[in-house]
Structure 1
Amino acid sequence: MASMSFSGVVPSFAAGTNQTDETVTATAEPSASLQTSPSDEETSSAKSLDEVSEPTAESELAESSRDGSSSDIEAASDAPEAVDEDVAERQADVAVSPLSLDANGNSVVKTPTRTSTIIKVTKGDVRTAETTIASNFSTGARFQLYYVRWNGSIGDAVTEPWGTCQIEAGDNGICYFSVPNTNNGGANRTKFYIRELAPAAGSLAAQNYNVLSKFNTGANGSTESTYQYRTKTLTSNSTISMPADHDGALRTADASSGTWANSIKNPTLPVTCELGIKVALVFDLSGSVKNAGAADTLGNAGKGFVDALSGTNSSVALFSFGNTSPRAGTPNFPELRNIDSGTNSTRIKNDIQDYINSFSGEGYTSNGTNWDAGLWATAQNAKQYDLVVVLTDGNPTFSGIESTVGPGTSTYFRELEAAVFSANAVKAQGARIINVGIGEGLNADNNLAATSGPVKYSPGASLNTADYLNVGWEALKPLLEDFAKSISCQAGVTVTKKVKDLGGTTKVASGWTIDAATQTGNASLTPETSQQTNTDGEVKFDLGFSKPDGKETVQIAETQQNGYKL
């Protein structure tokens, strides 16, 4: 894939009348850096979201206070249990049950006793149906318990072996903690926080997961929240299922889908210059786009992307989302259409314009933002696509496919977890996701990374070295055009001309003649003639390469104007 652009500044200084030519040498180099794609070498059985929220023996017991102080611990008595039966129960469980490992590598029995509690943490990755999340790559995932301070905040990590668990093959994506001394008066009859650790080295989880540590939650993503959950007060002879928001009763950012999420690693794009690329453009058509007065800007950016792919033998599919996908009043176009075939380019751009026109169409109502639905719709055909580009101006406020849930005005863990599972369903089929967050002041970096990958775009990066970016509305169209050029093994060279007047003020200069010439012949140059700098002092040249790792040196020369010298 080609890098985005080269920017050079050619300075001149006001003085005299000497005319000189200046030469700037630049290297435009397409990037073909790769990362390991997710492996399918080991798969465990799928886990339904409904299965992880079964009632537990503790559900009718009173909880401790939010800060877990001892004065608020409930006085419920635990059922008596004979010691010999307890031992027999443990021995039977060791023989037949899938077992997690503790910090010492010892197996953890998954049955509670009269003095212990089992915490089951359900891990998932790829959505396989509306309410079914598989745990394909969970083996080796690790979790840690933390004590709760008097004020309810997270305390120190539990250093005893039972404070850490690791999912093993056969655990069906569940990590088991066996917490001792949770009987009446026991030292651990309290609450705990749970966080995910880095996976075991060399494990399936380590090969495929990006561990998520933070999300942007609340209204407009204004709160950066650590991805963690707090249990209710543990009571012996009981099993509790996590993740769950036991404190907030599904009314806070901690509202959970019932399955702990991880982003699987973003696949790499095919490295080729000849075959074209298959792209799905996914448009956020929520009410905030209209409210920002940016609908036309979004449409023009999408159409500019299509135009920039012209002549590359590339194909495009289109998706929309609001509360659901497609957003009400708009269709999805999941089948790929080759831009260079017949009238397809015009038809695709007309369909994008229809998306924009729908904001003022009959029956339009403002929608929220459901990343989950948009990504899941895309996943139904993701095997056809090389690249999925998601254009969104806000954080998800809804989740769900046929039946949606969510506050509509705020972002919870639940909406983000669901979006991650659907994004993983896209990536598991080999399609790379690039998330484009649009608009000034968008607080979404953690969330954009969660549904694509951890690397934020910086100038010069390729589509194989960046996973997400934030961009203002006005910069969206040129950015997408640069993306399209990089897809087709092109690199942009941008030269900015600046002058300094006699008073020492530097400013951009229009109307200067700039020439460019390739030096090695490894790339074609467009245009081949000289150009005049525009009102921004810029001229742009495009380099076309025949191979993804091609390199070219470009010589830049200006024609000096009277009244200036170098």
Structure 2
Amino acid sequence: MRSTLAVLTALTLLLWVLAPGQGGDAQAAVPEPAADSAVVSVRTGGDRTGVNAVAGLPGVVLQLFRGANGANPVTEAWGTCTSDDDGDCSFQVPDAQRGGDGTCTAADAGANCGDRFWVRQTSAPAGFFANPTLSTGAVGTGPNPPPTTALAYEFQTPAVYASQTSTTGQPGGSSTFMVSQAQNTGNASSGIWQQSRVDPPLPEQCGLDVAIILDLSLSVGAALPQLKSAADTFVDALTGTPSRMSLFSFSRVSPAAGTQNATAHHPISRTADAAEFKALYAGWALDNATNWDRGIAAAAEANEHYDVAVVITDGNPTLYSDPAQNNGTYTRFREVENGIFSANALKAQGTRVLAVGVGAGVSDPNAALNLQAISGTQPFTGANAETADYYQTADFAAAGEALQSLAFSKCMPSLTVVKAIVPPDGGIEDAVPAGAGWTFTADTADTDVLQGLPETLPTTADGTGAVNFPLAFGVDGSATVTVHEQQQDGYELVPQGEVNASCTLRSAEFPDGTPLEVANDGTDPASPGFSFTMGSATGVSCVVYNRAPTPPATLTVSKTWVVDGVAYPDGEQPPEIDADLWVDPPDGDPAPADGWGAGHQFFQGDTVGLAESVSFGSRDLCELVGATVTVDGAPPPVPFPAAMRDPADPDAPPAVDGFFDVALTAPTTTVEVTNTVTCRTLLTLTKIVLGGGTANPMSWTLSAAGPDGSGPSGPSTAPEVTDVEVTAGAPYVLAEAGGDPRYAQTDLRSTVTQYPGASGSAYCRTVAADDSFVSDVVDGLDGGVLPQLGQRTRCEFLNLTATLSLRKVVENADGEPDPPSAWSLTATPVGDDLPAGLGPVTVTGTAAGLGARFLVRPGVTYELTETAPPDALAGYTLADVRCGAGPVPRAAEPVTVQVDPLAGVLCTFRNVADPSSWTVAKSSDPATGSTVQPGDVITYTITATDLGGGAERPHDLTVTDDLAGVLDDATLDAGSISPSTGTASVTGASLTWSIPLLDGTATLTYRVVVDDDAYAATLTNVVTGGGVQPCPAAEPDCRTTTQVTPPEPVDPTPTPVPPPVSPPGAVPPSGGLPRTGAEIGLTALTAALLVGLGAAVRALRRRPGDKH
């Protein structure tokens, strides 16, 4: 007998689906899943650490939700994760194993097999807040821009299966979600879960270091003058205080085209200083789209520290990174996320970020979602300037007023005194802010109104020459304040008119300031003074001029970078390339300066030492090949002392042999330092294959084609594609060719791609010299990569295969099915654009639990068919083909199937034997129609015959012979009942023959004896059988026999009967037996034919191989 079918087991199925593949060394950044669990890992991020790198953030709590739209939280412990020190938040989803038949609906499948979950944030670590909703959508210009969409910040995982890992872009996963470069898709994300730092508070002082960050995107349009006016208003509000300003611009990148970032602190303590600062941006024009990321990052990467950064923007971000990425017309999660990471880096330095949204681009209420994401949660309400994080106003003028409110909130009431030094032979117009060491004392006699005085404050070396006295009025009203300075040797007071100081009062009534009446106080030249009266809701700024005995000297040190032959003023060079200027004054220790381009105050005759410390950040392939300096433009340039900054001690002085000394012999001295940098940009292409099999990663040709068609091309790990020097910032189209066609390249491209020659997606990351990852996925998903200057970029082409298993089940109700190996099963790929070499696969049928296993190309449709060899037994019908592909088995003919990457599908062909037909006939000896005598013996034969037509032989048959018409005139010889197969029994007048299996022909014989007194009797019996075929047309009574007996004889003397006369030529029967009629021959012939037919069917069925 044939063996029973093997039973599928979950263990062998697991080994089938998840056999490892060959490929590159994907570094594991997430946990390995257990045999019955899946891993879903999300990377969380905080602060930007490089142009394309973000530090992981520990303590982020995420939760899984399930059901339609994630309506139901997963409350079990595994449904919540907390990010680790690397920022990885990993869910270990249990019970994700497929069932024994490869489906998730089998009884032994895990409860979570094939489920998809929604990931949402439930808690942020201390010092951060979550952004559950962000604004996305198309952007536009004009009075009626397209509306934005408030999109929930949540992501749906792929279907989870045991031993598989889904990540948001970290290395080591077998699939990804969340991370996307798809254009015009709101939830396209960087793959790093964002949250915002809590906005730091403003320092409790009047006088701030401020970074103004201006949006110069084209959407500003005709409102550019108003944008500049808004910035002017904020500058004016801080003028006359110990404040310093820095300036940044952004559009496509930062700075915007035609502008220059001014990162150094510019004092605005005097009106003249403020005017100089406003002149820096007065001529700026508009350019391109909106890149919040680089505009904010430029301030974060500057060497200076800022108390507050004011981002004035008219729209949502549409670009990120440098070189800029995205199409510039659509805001996705990616653009906002990158802006958040850069804002976090700035906040981490203690800088409060104020987002000022102006114009039509942010009048949409949804825009507030993004403004608060880069600043904080508190909107400006008109009365909370000190605590407001973001401002959303209808026009730029209103923005200026809001910023003015902020400035006033820190400086009312207060007094600022500015010391300015006049050259020996110059006038007030030639004055410069004083350096450190000038002392002022403020006092009042109205102590019942004004508290906090007297107080004495010295000027510092911050470049403003100013001191600020915070004041506290106990009651509303006014008080008279007197101020005295401590005169320094050799200096003399320079009166303004007839008074010792000029003062300006600012208030809500006079936001731009109004002159304040001042009176001189005291006559001691060593302590000249002045006085004035001020109210409780005012701020006063006074300027005192002194003539110096020695002419002052202003030293300005500017910086130019020459990177790969391209010259950049400082502030325009590629991100992360920077240097700190160190100044060694004549009477102090070396210290870092406020920045390049700022004026440093000394005296003529002083000698000042200069040096610099240089850093390239993550651009470790950049090299400083030279630093030169010129003084007042005098050639030739000479070497300048420069050293690379020590990452372990970034605040240490540069490790140089000595500082460059500059003798100050004129009122102004200009020093120009030029750094020459060369950067290599390297690109590596690698192949990783997953899913099992023996594919060689080196059998693919990988290529990255630059704008001129050149670029690396070759097999994975070959020198031709390893650390190949490429052009930084140029777009390279990523493609592969050749290789095993059963492995499909991952393809996450958007419908409209900017790289039409690409073959799919690649995972491009920045790597360090030791091949460790500097960043998660940053590029490549859309089929192209922009290699970063001075960095190593590694693009992984990930190809996945799938497994299809074909199994043959043969069912025959007669208990002896033919072997599955008699059939061949074929999977044929169908469709357009099939890769070369992808052809049909044919396997020999097997009933083994997992069938015959082979690899197929994921996503391709395969048509499933079967064939049998010419000499195979006919009589089977393909009942169905059932494929377990995920949650729903399919049954159809013809059957097609697609297999997901890394999945395994088991398809079972079920062939059922067609039933054969059969018949039964009855014969007797003497033949039917004969005349028998009392005492004669009649032998009956019942013949059952398999007529063929199917592989299922007749079985479990019941034949009934009705003897009622016989046994009333004859007696059954019970010992004569003889079946050739099965059993026979008599119940009453019925003889029942049970045939378990009809193999060809079977017979049943038995005898009856005609009773002695059975004269003039008719003996008739009829045999029947369930499901038998009708009798042949030529013999309609093939199942009926009839004998008759003669009449009883008349006694004593019979009438003589003449002997019969034989026809001429007749031959008497042999042996003298009586002839019973022509029907004898026909019945015998029919029986012989049936016996022969049964033998033939039996022989035919046994032809492929005898079963017995």
TM-score of the aligned structures, taking structure 2 as reference length? 0.33
Give the direction of change, closer, same or farther, for the CA distance of 1:382–1:258 in structure 2 (3 Å limit).
Answer: farther
Supply the AA of the counterpart residue of 2:123: A
How far apart are residue 235 of structure 1 and its match? 2.2
Supply the AA of the counterpart residue of 1:424: N
254, 273, 284: which is aligned to 1:325?
254
Identity among equivalent positions (%) equals 34
Give the direction of change, closer, same or farther, for the CA distance of 1:256–1:248 in structure 2 (3 Å limit).
Answer: closer
* Residue equivalent to 1:425: 345
40, 53, 77: which is aligned to 1:119?
40
How far apart are the structure 1 equivalents of 2:149 and 2:190?
Answer: 19
Contact 2:505 2:539 in 1 (8 A): no
How far apart are residue 304 of structure 1 and its match? 2.0
How far apart are residue 269 of structure 1 and its match? 1.2
Structure with bigger strand share is 2
Q: Does 1:172 align with 2:86?
A: yes
* Residue equivalent to 1:58: none
Contact 2:179 2:189 in 1 (8 A): no
271, 279, 304: which is aligned to 2:233?
304
Supply the AA of the counterpart residue of 2:255: P
* Residue equivalent to 1:38: none
Contact 2:62 2:121 in 1 (8 A): yes
Supply the AA of the counterpart residue of 1:373: R
Note the residue ranges of structure 1 that are not aligned, 5 or more in a row.
Answer: 1-75, 83-96, 99-108, 200-204, 360-365, 492-517, 532-540, 547-566
Deviation track 1:224-259 (CA, whole Å, cap 9, x = no partner) reads 011111111112211111276469773411111121
Matches within 5 A, 1:540-551: 543-544=537-538
* Residue equivalent to 2:903: none
* Residue equivalent to 1:196: 121
Deviation track 1:286-337 (CA, whole Å, cap 9, x = no partner) reads 00001xx211111112112212211112110010000101011111111110
Task: Give SS of 1:543's match.
Answer: coil
Give the direction of change, closer, same or farther, for the CA distance of 1:249–1:182 in structure 2 (3 Å limit).
Answer: farther
How far apart are the structure 2 equivalents of 1:527 and 1:413?
Answer: 43
Contact 2:355 2:375 in 1 (8 A): yes
* Residue equivalent to 1:155: 71
Give the direction of change, closer, same or farther, for the CA distance of 1:304–1:527 in structure 2 (3 Å limit).
Answer: closer
How far apart are the structure 2 equivalents of 1:396 and 1:523?
Answer: 51
* Residue equivalent to 1:271: 204
Supply the AA of the counterpart residue of 1:286: S
Q: Does 1:447 align with 2:370?
A: yes
* Residue equivalent to 1:519: 476
Of the structure 1 ranges 383-392 and 342-351, higher mean CA displacement relative to structure 2 is found in 342-351
Matches within 5 A, 1:500-519: 519=476
Note the residue ranges of structure 2 that are not aligned, 5 or more in a row.
Answer: 1-11, 19-27, 99-103, 105-109, 140-146, 170-175, 415-474, 482-503, 511-534, 541-1108
Contact 2:179 2:190 in 1 (8 A): no
How far apart are the structure 2 equivalents of 1:247 and 1:266?
Answer: 27
Matches within 5 A, 1:79-478: 79=15, 110-135=31-56, 138-149=57-68, 153-168=69-84, 171-184=85-98, 185=104, 186-188=110-112, 189-199=114-124, 205=125, 207-220=126-139, 222-242=148-168, 245=177, 250-251=182-183, 252-273=185-206, 276-290=207-221, 293-340=222-269, 343-355=272-284, 358-359=285-286, 366-381=287-302, 384-400=305-321, 402-440=322-360, 441-442=363-364, 443-463=366-386, 465-473=387-395, 474-478=397-401
How far apart are the structure 2 equivalents of 1:390 and 1:262?
Answer: 19
Supply the AA of the counterpart residue of 1:457: F
Give the direction of change, closer, same or farther, for the CA distance of 1:134–1:248 in structure 2 (3 Å limit).
Answer: closer
Contact 1:122 1:173 in 2 (8 A): yes
Contact 1:379 1:422 in 2 (8 A): yes
How far apart are the structure 1 equivalents of 2:233 and 2:180?
Answer: 45
How far apart are the structure 2 equivalents of 1:477 and 1:433?
Answer: 16
How far apart are the structure 1 equivalents of 2:128 and 2:115?
Answer: 31
How far apart are residue 475 of structure 1 and its match? 1.5
Contact 2:204 2:410 in 1 (8 A): no
* Residue equivalent to 1:202: none
Contact 1:145 1:164 in 2 (8 A): yes
How far apart are the structure 1 equivalents of 2:266 and 2:181?
Answer: 47
How far apart are the structure 2 equivalents of 1:469 and 1:425?
Answer: 21
Supply the AA of the counterpart residue of 1:468: Y
How far apart are the structure 2 equivalents of 1:523 and 1:146?
Answer: 66
Task: Give SS of 1:139's match.
Answer: coil
394, 407, 416: which is aligned to 1:484?
407
Task: Give SS of 1:298's match.
Answer: helix
Give the direction of change, closer, same or farther, for the CA distance of 1:316–1:249 in structure 2 (3 Å limit).
Answer: closer
How far apart are the structure 2 equivalents of 1:289 and 1:224?
Answer: 23
User: Rg bigger for which structure?
Assistant: 2
Give the direction of change, closer, same or farther, for the CA distance of 1:326–1:304 in structure 2 (3 Å limit).
Answer: same
How far apart are residue 110 of structure 1 and its match? 2.6
How far apart are the structure 1 equivalents of 2:87 and 2:177?
Answer: 20
Deviation track 1:455-496 (CA, whole Å, cap 9, x = no partner) reads 111121033x111010121412322222222232359xxxxx
Matches within 5 A, 1:7-22: none
How far apart are the structure 2 equivalents of 1:462 and 1:380?
Answer: 27
Supply the AA of the counterpart residue of 1:398: L
Contact 2:197 2:344 in 1 (8 A): yes
* Residue equivalent to 1:11: none
TM-score of the aligned structures, taking structure 1 as reference length? 0.63
How far apart are residue 140 of structure 1 and its match? 2.6
Task: Give SS of 1:270's match.
Answer: coil
How far apart are residue 120 of structure 1 and its match? 1.0
Supply the AA of the counterpart residue of 2:111: A
Give the direction of change, closer, same or farther, for the CA distance of 1:81–1:414 in structure 2 (3 Å limit).
Answer: closer
Give the direction of change, closer, same or farther, for the CA distance of 1:77–1:190 in structure 2 (3 Å limit).
Answer: farther
Deviation track 1:257-306 (CA, whole Å, cap 9, x = no partner) reads 12111101111111023xx111000000000001xx21111111211221
Contact 2:228 2:282 in 1 (8 A): yes
Contact 2:382 2:402 in 1 (8 A): no
Task: Give SS of 2:15's match.
Answer: coil
Give the direction of change, closer, same or farther, for the CA distance of 1:386–1:527 in structure 2 (3 Å limit).
Answer: closer
How far apart are residue 395 of structure 1 and its match? 0.4
Contact 1:81 1:114 in 2 (8 A): no
How far apart are the structure 1 equivalents of 2:179 and 2:208?
Answer: 48
Contact 2:240 2:270 in 1 (8 A): no
Task: Give SS of 1:79's match.
Answer: helix
Structure with bigger helix share is 1
How far apart are the structure 2 equivalents of 1:381 and 1:125?
Answer: 19
Supply the AA of the counterpart residue of 2:398: A
How far apart are residue 177 of structure 1 and its match? 0.4
How far apart are residue 180 of structure 1 and its match? 1.6
How far apart are residue 341 of structure 1 and its match? 5.3
Contact 2:263 2:304 in 1 (8 A): no
How far apart are the structure 2 equivalents of 1:297 and 1:346?
Answer: 17
Deviation track 1:437-465 (CA, whole Å, cap 9, x = no partner) reads 102423311111111111111121033x1
How far apart are residue 80 of structure 1 and its match? 5.1
How far apart are the structure 2 equivalents of 1:468 and 1:148?
Answer: 37
Give the direction of change, closer, same or farther, for the CA distance of 1:383–1:228 in structure 2 (3 Å limit).
Answer: farther
